[in-house]
């Protein structure tokens, strides 16, 4: 049994050493997929969405989203400040927004129903853009590939093949990967995007305290949520607590931005 444990450790060590980097908050990331590869895939997916999903024709909504997004993008550091950011506003009722590698931003009009002002929408924009600057899509894709390879290798080691006992071992490893590796990692990405996004919105002149109002609106919308340990996102209460804990750092950033003349005027006038 000890020999098998050593073999398992060696397999994981060989896989994990593929590539390591550090996220903007100092968290260690395993990334081996190239940014160019991820950006090409994102561009293809983004273009497919724009071609198939209904785009909003409401000029007031489009201008509002574009105003907030532009204000946040303008404060980014290179190389992200050098991207040609693209925005699409989809006429969809679902409450959703996202950003993709290479500078692609998608917003469903449904999210505008719960964002009461520019500050709350900036909380969404900052969070989604932070996923890009923290290379979360790249990290997630790399992690998924790495996990899949690790499961196959361990199944062979534990069972000697892909049938009988090896199949059971593979199933067990899939369950372990889902609950012990993938989900906690996704929650850490979400929390990290919250932290980075708060700084982005504050630096752009949006009040970071509005992020709490936004998530209170989210909580009211989703009265039933899965337990946190089975969710890829922090619970609303946990998220709000984390956001408030960041105010000590982000409020001075916001005040400094306002002193420097950062005063976005993005009006929700429909």
Catalytic residue among 39, 128, 139, 190: 128
For 189, the token pair is: 């990405």
Peptide bond into 134 cis (omega under 30): no
Query: What does the alpha-carbon distance between residue 59 and residue 39 come to, in Å, rounded to a whole number?
Result: 28
Give the pair of three-digit tokens for residue 40.
């090409």
Vertex 192 angle, CA 260 and 88, to 5°: 70
Residue 128 annotated in active site = yes
Q: Which H helix or E strand runs over 258?
A: helix 247-259
Largest pairwise CA distance in the chain? 68
Handedness of CA 236, 238, 239, 241 (dihedral sign): positive
Q: Are 122 and 72 in contact (CB under 8 A)?
A: yes
* Distance in angstroms (rounded) separating the CA atoms of residues 95 and 136: 21
Closest CA to 137 of 15, 26, 42, 255: 42
Residue in the structure block whose two tokens are 């590539």: 19
- 30 φ, ψ (degrees, to nearest 5): -105, 110
Is residue 232 within 8 Å of 186, Cβ to Cβ?
yes
Name residues whose C-beta falls within 8 Å of residue 115's C-beta, 6 or more positions apart in sequence: 121, 124, 214, 217, 268
Supply the residues annotated as catalytic.
128
């Amino acid at each position: 049994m000890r020999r098998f444990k050593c073999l398992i450790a060696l397999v994981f060590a060989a896989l994990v050493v593929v590539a390591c980097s550090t996220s903007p908050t100092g968290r260690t990331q395993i990334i081996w997929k190239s940014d160019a590869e991820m950006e090409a895939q994102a561009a293809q997916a983004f273009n497919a969405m724009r071609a198939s999903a209904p785009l909003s024709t409401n000029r007031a909504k489009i201008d509002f989203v574009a105003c907030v997004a532009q204000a946040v993008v303008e404060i980014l550091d290179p190389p992200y400040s050098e991207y040609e950011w693209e925005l699409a506003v989809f006429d969809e009722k679902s409450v959703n927004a996202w950003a993709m590698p290479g500078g692609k931003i998608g917003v469903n009009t449904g999210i505008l129903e719960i964002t009461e002002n520019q500050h709350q929408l900036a909380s969404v924009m900052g969070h989604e853009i932070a996923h890009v600057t923290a290379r979360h899509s790249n990290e997630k894709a790399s992690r998924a590939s790495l996990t899949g390879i690790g499961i196959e290798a361990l199944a062979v080691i534990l069972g000697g093949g892909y049938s009988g006992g090896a199949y059971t071992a593979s199933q067990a490893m899939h369950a372990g990967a889902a609950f012990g590796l993938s989900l906690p990692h996704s929650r850490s990405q979400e929390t990290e995007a919250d932290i980075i996004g708060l700084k982005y919105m504050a630096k752009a002149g949006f009040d970071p305290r509005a992020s709490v109002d936004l998530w209170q609106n989210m909580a009211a919308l989703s009265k039933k949520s899965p337990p946190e340990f089975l969710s890829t996102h922090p619970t609303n209460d946990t998220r709000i607590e984390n956001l408030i804990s960041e105010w000590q750092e982000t409020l001075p950033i916001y005040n400094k931005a306002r002193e420097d003349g950062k005063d976005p005027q993005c009006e929700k006038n429909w």
